């Protein structure tokens, strides 16, 4: 049996795993969370508004009254409840994404994202002249859902850290 002195020694790469990823940019984590929360809510809102407008048009609502009817969607309609549930889910997901992107000290970027998201929603409603008690309630609900998502993301980060050797 001949030994080749020029052959490199074998290695076991499982002994040298990659180091765990460090924390990311605070601004990047907040931006990712806002894209998911605000951007996703706006996209879903546009789609559901289009569907609701199509339903109203099929019922014979004239074009002159269509815009006002869409803005005055009843809060007990199935379309409104569906939009609200999707928006709440996107708020939780936005907080989760923000925390997962931050990786460390998740509540600081999560709080920044939640405040920015709530202020954005209230600003849009106040500029459109539709600021009501419901606007404030939805902003507070979105804020709480963002922080719930941050909690879930932080828990996932801790489990991932504990599992890495």
Say what the pLDDT of residue 112 is. Answer: 95
- Mean pLDDT confidence for 4-32: 73
- Average of per-residue pLDDT across 43-51: 91
Q: pLDDT, tens digit, for every residue of 103-127?
A: 888 999 999 999 999 999 999 888 8
**Model confidence pLDDT, tens digit, residues 154-163:** 999 998 888 7
- Residue 46 above 80 pLDDT? yes
Q: How far apart are CA 52 and CA 66, in angstroms?
A: 10
Contact 53, 73 (CB under 8 A): no
Higher pLDDT, 121 or 21: 121
Residue-level pLDDT at 162:
84
- Claim: this prediction has a pTM higher than 0.75: yes
């Amino acid at each position: 049996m001949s030994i080749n002195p020029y052959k490199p020694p074998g290695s076991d790469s499982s002994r040298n795993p990659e180091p765990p990823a460090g924390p990311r940019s605070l601004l990047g984590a907040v931006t990712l969370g806002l894209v998911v929360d605000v951007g996703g809510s706006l996209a879903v809102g546009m789609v559901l508004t289009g569907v609701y407008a199509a339903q109203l048009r099929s019922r014979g609502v004239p074009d002159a009254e269509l815009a006002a009817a869409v803005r005055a969607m009843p809060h007990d309609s199935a379309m409104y409840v569906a939009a609200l549930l999707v928006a709440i889910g996107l708020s939780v997901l936005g907080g989760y994404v923000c925390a997962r992107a931050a990786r460390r000290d998740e509540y600081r970027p999560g709080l920044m994202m939640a405040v920015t998201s709530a202020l954005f929603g209230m600003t849009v409603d106040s500029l459109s002249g539709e600021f009501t008690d419901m606007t404030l309630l939805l902003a507070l609900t979105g804020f709480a859902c963002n922080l719930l998502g941050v909690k879930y993301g932080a828990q996932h980060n801790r489990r991932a850290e504990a599992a890495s050797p």
